[in-house]
Chain A
Amino acid sequence: MEQVPLSHVLILSSCLFFLGIYGFFSRRNMITMLMSIELILNSININFIAFNKYLYPHQLEGVFFTLFIITVAAAEVSLAIAIIINLYRKFNTIDVEDTNTMKF
């Protein structure tokens, strides 16, 4: 693993991050937008782990940040899916363009 420079790991994670950004802004379905958010969170986890391993190997802070990000992501996904199911009951669709009752 020492032959892989740090910048290659970071470029991999930034490619994944901007893939997630592209999916989040171009999709209209709420569940696929949620999948893009998962991609974004995972790319950030790779960043934390890589910085911890390459730059600060005497500490464990990147591992803890990754742990808390995974926990918050689990909470976020469960809430988002509850909201999506409730929305589907009321509007019979989960397309963000069709659910515009509160749009200004």
Chain B
Amino acid sequence: MSASAVMFYILGALVLTFGVLTVFTRKIFRAAVYLLLSLIGIAAIYIIMDMQFIAALQIVIYVGGIVVLIIFSIFLTHQAGERLPSRLPKHLLWSILLSGVGLLLATHILYHFSYKPSIEPAIEHSVKNIGTQLIDFRSYGYVFPFEVVSILLLAAMVGSIIIAMKTKKN
């Protein structure tokens, strides 16, 4: 077993542990911090898979943006140190049933499926190749989804400002 394989199993165990803590803890701020650590672990998994660009994006957008936004909204809507209310038994039963059966089914299928890798020569997953194909408009480029997603981001920005704005009372 090579060093990167050992690293993968350690990081996978860390990611799953922090994910379990995120879902099961009763204090909401701790849940946000555990989510942060889990996302950093996923970025490290990307790095040992040789996807440095995606790992950098994961750190910048998820860890630096989304989790900070979640922590801000926790501070706006919660008192410090209060515990979350307990779960309803009906919800608990259904969610345990759904996730347990789904996990068993998915692991069974994934373990017994035979994967066929392609035999064509591999290309480098560098930022240069990714950028070239992202704004290419001739051969399998992604320039149209790129523009659509930029308009989506603009619309989401304007929409969230409008929704969260305080309305004046007449």
Q: Which residues of A contact B (CB under 8 A)?
A: 1-4, 6-12, 14-29, 31-32, 34-36, 38-39, 42, 45-46, 49-50, 52-60, 63-64, 66-68, 70-79, 81-86, 88-89, 94-95, 97
For the complex formed, measure the closest distance between the CB of A24 and the CB atoms of chain B, giving whole angstroms. 8
For the complex formed, measure the closest distance between the CB of B28 and the CB atoms of chain A, giving whole angstroms. 6
Q: Which residues of B contact A20 (CB under 8 A)?
A: 19, 23
Q: Contact check: which of A35, A72, A81 meets B35 at CB < 8 Å?
A: A35
Q: Which residues of B contact A64 (CB under 8 A)?
A: 130, 133-134, 142, 145
Interfacial residues of chain B within 128-152, with CB under 8 A of chain A in the complex: 129-130, 133-134, 142, 145, 149, 152
Q: Which residues of B contact A31 (CB under 8 A)?
A: 28, 70, 73-74, 77
Q: Which residues of B contact A42 (CB under 8 A)?
A: 38-39, 42, 62
In the complex, per-residue mask of B56-73: 1 if CB is within 8 Å of any chain A CB, else 0: 011001100110011011
CA distance A23 to B26 in the complex (A): 12
Q: How large is the interface on B (under 10, 10 to 19, 20 to 34, 35 or more residues)?
A: 35 or more
CA distance A15 to B121 in the complex (A): 32
Q: Which residues of A contact B53 (CB under 8 A)?
A: 63
Q: Which residues of A contact B31 (CB under 8 A)?
A: 32, 35
Q: Which residues of A contact B166 (CB under 8 A)?
A: 89
Interface of A is mostly: helix
Interface of B is mostly: helix
Q: Which residues of B contact A (CB under 8 A)?
A: 1-2, 4-5, 8-9, 12, 15-16, 19-20, 22-23, 28, 31-32, 35, 38-39, 42, 45-46, 48-51, 53-54, 57-58, 61-62, 65-66, 69-70, 72-74, 76-77, 84-85, 87-88, 91-92, 94-96, 98-100, 102-103, 106-107, 110-111, 113, 115-118, 120-123, 125, 129-130, 133-134, 142, 145, 149, 152-153, 155-157, 159-161, 163-164, 166
Which of A59, A77, A94 is packed against the most chain B CB atoms within 10 Å?
A77
Task: Say yes or no: B123 contacts A58, CB within 8 Å.
Answer: yes
Task: Say yes or no: B77 contacts A25, CB within 8 Å.
Answer: no
Task: Say yes or no: A38 contacts B35, CB within 8 Å.
Answer: yes
Q: Contact check: which of B87, B113, B117 meets A26 at CB < 8 Å?
A: B87
